[in-house]
Amino acid sequence: MSGNHKPKVLLSVQNLKKYFPIRQGMVIRRHVGDVKAVDDVSFDIYEGETLGLVGESGCGKTTVGRTLLRLYEPTGGKVFFDGQDITRLSPSEMRAARRKMQMIFQDPYASLNPRMTVGNIISEPMLYHRIVSRADRDERVRELLEMVGLRAYFAKRYPHEFSGGQRQRIGIARSLALEPSFIVCDEPISALDVSIQAQIVNLLEELQDTLGLTYLFIAHDLSMVRHISDRIAVMYLGKIVELTDRNELYDNPLHPYTKALLSAVPIPDPVIEEQREIIELEGDVPSPSNPPKGCNFNTRCPLAQPHCFEAEPPLVEVSPGHHVACHLVEPTETA
């Protein structure tokens, strides 16, 4: 993302909520509460950028990605894709819109049908949406396989014949079959060997440059997120607590939770590594079915004040492009 002009917003998320109902009773299933997996989340993704979404397991990252594509129906809020509110689309309209929005799943072992050949897996979306004839699909499958660094003759093989990294490349090829402009990458490297992870990230970056793709990159590995992302959003217990440019986040983290996450990232320089202080958070993450009153992070925050237990901090811009949800962070004069 270069140049001085403001890039176009491709995806705008406004007050997105996804609650999963909790029901009790054997016969009459009474609604007794909700798991607030995503609770009032707002952010924009610009055309051609990668927004990293990070946080601990269970914080709601994957639910955000799936709700954006309406694989989960949102409980509340709006999602504008290319100016169109997709939360209001009918199933048939959504099916058409989903051609431009695809997903790369976390586990390449579980996301590919073991009974289908690679060629059929990749061509299935094209046949479903009727964008290519059966005569042309083999040629398109060959193009996609070569685009992700695989041999064209792999099309006749089955998923069990491939390594994890190769399977993820097949998943990426499938996600590209409909020529999307936006892809949700749901922890696409966490199930892979460390030696393979960098190859997949490099492939995603090459495809972004070649095809003009926009990514939401979901992960918990902060070092890899910095490598691929333009901006990074940090999630905790269903809410975004900090959102800013990747270098700003690493050089000047403002939220106590972000500081704790970054303090656990290894530094290759042994001198710096020995001198730095690791912030250890006490206690466990509260249940999303019963979040604390006030700030979600107050039960584990070493800096929490009485006000933090009363009022929920809004996500505000404290300096240009740097948004934080914390009562203890004061906006600068230039914000």
User: What is the per-residue DSSP string for 21-60?
Assistant: EEEE-SSS-EEEEEEEEEEEEEEEEETT-EEEEE-STTSS
Contacts of 15 (CB under 8 A, 6+ apart): 40, 41, 42, 76, 77, 78
pTM value is 0.91
CA distance 281 to 258: 11
Give pLDDT, residue 132: 79
Q: Which domains does the chain have, with CATH numbers?
A: 9-324 (3.40.50.300)
Secondary structure of residue 271 in the 3-state scheme: helix
Which residues of the chain are modeled with pLDDT < 50? 2-3, 335
Give pLDDT, residue 2: 46
Q: How far is CA 213 from CA 39, 41, 207, 292, in A?
A: 28, 23, 7, 38
pLDDT tens, residue by residue, 161-182: 999 899 999 999 999 999 999 9
Give pLDDT, residue 20: 94
